[in-house]
Amino acid sequence: MSSKPYIYITRKLPEEIINNLCTFADVGMWEKEEEPVPREILLQETKKADALLTMLSDRIDEEIFQAGEKLKVIANLAVGYDNIDIELATKYGIAVCHTPDVLTDTTADLAFSLLLMVGRRLAESVELVKSGEWKSWSPLFMAGTDIHHKTIGIVGMGKIGEALAKRALGFDMNVLYHNRHRKMDVEKALGVHYRSFPDLVTESDYVVCLTPLTEETRGMFTKDVFRKMKKTAFFINVARGAVVIEEDLLLALREGEIAGAGLDVFEKEPIDPQHPFLKMKNVVALPHIGSASIETRTAMMKLCCRNIELILKNEKPISIVNEAMFLAK
Ligand code: NAP
């Protein structure tokens, strides 16, 4: 048996990304790009593993921690880590790493693109031209809603939220934000304004959610929240699907409580092709591609590998979620 550590990667990654890991470890990998690793295989591999490189579609819970007798680190290919039970990982002495910073600008670009798409009816317009339905020009033909000089309300003014605010300011938007903690330095530097959650949703023309998914944010967008929004306003979700009660959003859209929605994330992913959202003209649905540029995904994969390498070599990782646990060692 090899004396090298064993690293298991739960989705196919390019060879050039994992080459360095192979210099000091044995590396196993689920070889399918499109399909998540089956649970039984993940459990089997975890039994042998010193490190796991996981995707946000992998549920990492007590069963995994119990199987992973040698497991020292889980590096998740995402900034969000709502798929991992952090408290239990810490209890089992397992470091959890993630990929903040490297995806900030790319995800903010996508969030602003979604805002443009819903406001200016871009997806609908593309469909219309492709389907041969473009018959003439007329004054209100495909007329959308302006972006410039409108109010954007960012819920979750973290790294991506701030990057989104900069994009919005470039479009002369008025920027409101809501966080649990006020950010006076950011208010001063960017000229953005703090609002309570109810005030933000009432005043904004575009409400964008960019919080992590936590017990506090789960289901925070309810029918009461949508009812408070302007009937002309749009809801954009680039956080995680479960921050919204999807039934309530559906109702708000059907009843005209809000003008439309731009969704990169869903409670169940991939979304069921029969889902009513997909039949609505005023909903733009994307397949969870917030950070999906080649440059950024490459940087995320490299960061995961580097974090694993550092931990397996008993050095301080670059981006660890349960830092207190690591410092306590
Ligand atoms: P971040 O820097 O940690 O920012 C998160 C922000 O949310 C913080 O400012 C935090 O401030 C705020 N927040 C936390 N709980 C809150 C609550 N209950 N109410 C209001 N605000 C709250 O993280 P980030 O890098 O910007 O990423 C944010 C999230 O975006 C990730 O967790 C992930 O779920 C999602 N994301 C999605 C994609 C995608 O592909 N669609 C890509 C990247 C990230 P306070 O602590 O002061 O409240």
Please tell me the predicted confidence (pLDDT) of residue 324.
82
Ligand 1 interacting residues, C-beta cut-off 6 A: 79-80, 100, 103-104, 107, 155-161, 178-181, 210-214, 216-217, 238-240, 264-265, 288, 290-291
pLDDT digits over 312-321, tens only? 999 999 999 9
pTM over 0.95: yes
- Contact yes or no for 273/248 (Cβ under 8 A): no
Which listed residue (45, 288, 297, 309) is catalytic?
Answer: 288
Residue of 151 and 34 predicted with greater confidence: 151
pLDDT level of residue 150 (50, 70, 90 thresholds): very high
Average pLDDT, the chain: 97
Which listed residue (121, 240, 297, 309) is catalytic?
Answer: 240
Domain ranges of the chain: 6-102+294-327, 104-285
- Contact yes or no for 287/301 (Cβ under 8 A): no
Q: Give the distance (Å) from ligand 1 centre to CA of residue 179.
A: 9
Over residues 117-143, the mean pLDDT reads 97
Asked if 127 is an active-site residue, the reply is no
Report how far residue 308's alpha carbon sits from residue 329's, in angstroms, rounded to the nearest whole number: 17
User: Which amino acid residue places its CA nearest to atom 39 of ligand 1?
Assistant: 290
Q: Which of 114, 157, 211 to mutate to test the pocket of ligand 1 (most atoms within 8 A of CB)?
A: 211
| Angstrom distances, CA of residue 139 to CA of 107, 136, 143, 260 | 34, 10, 8, 22
The helix (H) or strand (E) run that includes residue 43 is helix 39-48
pLDDT level of residue 325 (50, 70, 90 thresholds): confident
Please tell me the predicted confidence (pLDDT) of residue 58.
97
Angle at 271 between CA 268 and CA 273, to 5 degrees: 145
Q: Which of 55, 79, 115 to mutate to test the pocket of ligand 1 (most atoms within 8 A of CB)?
A: 79
Percent of the chain with pLDDT over 90: 97
pLDDT digits over 256-305, tens only? 999 999 999 999 999 999 999 999 999 999 999 999 999 999 999 999 99
The helix (H) or strand (E) run that includes residue 208 is strand 206-209
Asked if 288 is an active-site residue, the reply is yes
CATH hierarchy code of domain 104-285: 3.40.50.720
Asked if 269 is an active-site residue, the reply is yes
Please tell me the predicted confidence (pLDDT) of residue 191.
98
Does domain 6-102+294-327 fall under CATH 1.10.1040.10? My reply is no
User: Which amino acid residue places its CA nearest to atom 46 of ligand 1?
Assistant: 180
Domain 104-285 in the same topology as domain 6-102+294-327: yes
Q: Give the distance (Å) from ligand 1 centre to CA of residue 265.
A: 14
Report how far residue 217's alpha carbon sits from residue 253's, in angstroms, rounded to the nearest whole number: 21
